[in-house]
Amino acid sequence: MNSLEQPIFLGIESSCDDLGMALVQNGEVLAESLSSSMDEHSKFGGVIPEIASRAHLEALDAVYDDLIKKTQSKFPSFSLRDVAAIGVTANPGLIGCLSVGANFAKGLSFGSDKPLYALNHVHGHILAASLSHPLPKDFLALIVSGGHSSLFIVRNFADQSTQISFEEIGSTLDDAAGEAFDKVGRLLGLKYPAGPEIDRFAQSGEVKINFPLPLTEPKFMKEHRYDFSFSGLKTAAVRELEKLSLSDDLLKSNRLKDEGITLEDFCASFAKSVASVLTLKTMWASDEFNLGTIVIGGGFSANSQLRNCLKSACEDKGKELIVPEIKYCTDNGSMIANLTEKMFQQSFPDSILDFSVRSI
């Protein structure tokens, strides 16, 4: 049962094109507010940092006021005084965007004398699934988004007496999974971000093209066993489209000439390759490090081909798969408020007020 008597945590996320703020108590979202500048970037085919940071600056007051109003509809006397600690994304992300959120959080912290945590965005994604599902003490996390494809060993989540640790055992050498989807989607004439669109088309297609499974060959096992690389796959997709003599308006014709391959088939084949690589390496790591639970997060973790592929691999191997709610896959304030609560509960030291934001 939520009440103002128990600690409440404020989280602020502004690392890319979304500005999110939320309040969390006992791993449960009390209220959340989000402003996305996505539509402003769509016409450019990608996020324009200057547009995103300006949009955040313009939306700050409205998002914060909306959050307070939503909380007061549950607890009429609620104010910032009832918050135990404030957390904000400090890295990685777009510097201008991060600065807007960080400076706002610093102002709130200074004005209210509340502890402030400068937090890692990817760690927020890792724990996002805990907003709807209990997590075990130790687990393997696969974080896939527009900027990241990484595998982490997470230890001491469900343990108040020690501190959680996040050990990255592999990451992308070039494009992230979401980025590869967005870039291939652009070639197909799809609107940015193309990830959800490719997912949708792929659901009704058949796998007819054998795309490669990058970095899975034996020669890469020593140095890059848990790393990912999707830029070669993107090039393979371009070549395939050329070979199929892609018509200028694929979306209208909905058919790749001469081969009987539809847009849906192309998307299903491409999505299958990305999902297979992510699943293969995740299962290898869960075996090698003896971790029976796999947690996924990040915008791409909403992808149905990845979810299906991981689900059946986990069923085969008797492993548990924990997925976040779709709305907590992409960037949001709740995952940062949730991480703030974890830092506070496990007695992590709070940050100095003049901390710097970082792009990596």
**What is the binding site for ligand KG4 (CB under 6 A)?**
16, 145-147, 178-179, 181-182, 193, 195-196, 199, 298-300, 302-303, 330-331
146 contact choice in Zn ion, ligand KG4, none (CB below 5 to 8 Å, kind-dependent): ligand KG4
Residue with the two structure tokens 């792929």: 202
Shortest distance in whole angstroms from residue 122 CB to ligand KG4: 8
- Binding window for Zn ion (CB under 5 A); candidates: 71-79, 144-152, 161-169, 275-283: 144-152
Shortest distance in whole angstroms from residue 281 CB to ligand KG4: 18
CA distance 45 to 300: 18
Contact 243, 266 (CB under 8 A): no
Q: Does 182 bind Zn ion (CB under 5 A)?
A: no
Contact 11, 338 (CB under 8 A): yes
Q: Which two tokens stand for residue 98?
A: 């991060």
Shortest distance in whole angstroms from residue 336 CB to ligand KG4: 12
- Binding window for Zn ion (CB under 5 A); candidates: 5-13, 39-47, 192-200, 323-331: 323-331
Shortest distance in whole angstroms from residue 207 CB to Zn ion: 28
CA distance 15 to 18: 7
181 contact choice in ligand KG4, Zn ion, none (CB below 5 to 8 Å, kind-dependent): ligand KG4
Residue with the two structure tokens 């970082």: 358
Q: Among residues 13 and 264, whose Cβ is nearest to Zn ion?
A: 13
Q: Does 331 bind Zn ion (CB under 5 A)?
A: yes
Q: Among residues 36 and 163, whose Cβ is nearest to Zn ion?
A: 36
Paired residues of 154 in beta bridges:
139, 166
195 contact choice in ligand KG4, Zn ion, none (CB below 5 to 8 Å, kind-dependent): ligand KG4
Shortest distance in whole angstroms from residue 322 CB to ligand KG4: 17
Residue with the two structure tokens 């949009």: 55
Shortest distance in whole angstroms from residue 20 CB to ligand KG4: 10
303 contact choice in ligand KG4, Zn ion, none (CB below 5 to 8 Å, kind-dependent): ligand KG4
- Binding window for Zn ion (CB under 5 A); candidates: 156-164, 193-201, 285-293, 327-335: 327-335
143 contact choice in Zn ion, ligand KG4, none (CB below 5 to 8 Å, kind-dependent): none
149 contact choice in Zn ion, ligand KG4, none (CB below 5 to 8 Å, kind-dependent): none
Say what the alpha-carbon torsion angle 338, 339, 344, 348 is, to the nearest 10 degrees: 170
Which residues bind to Zn ion, rule: CB under 5 A?
Answer: 145, 331
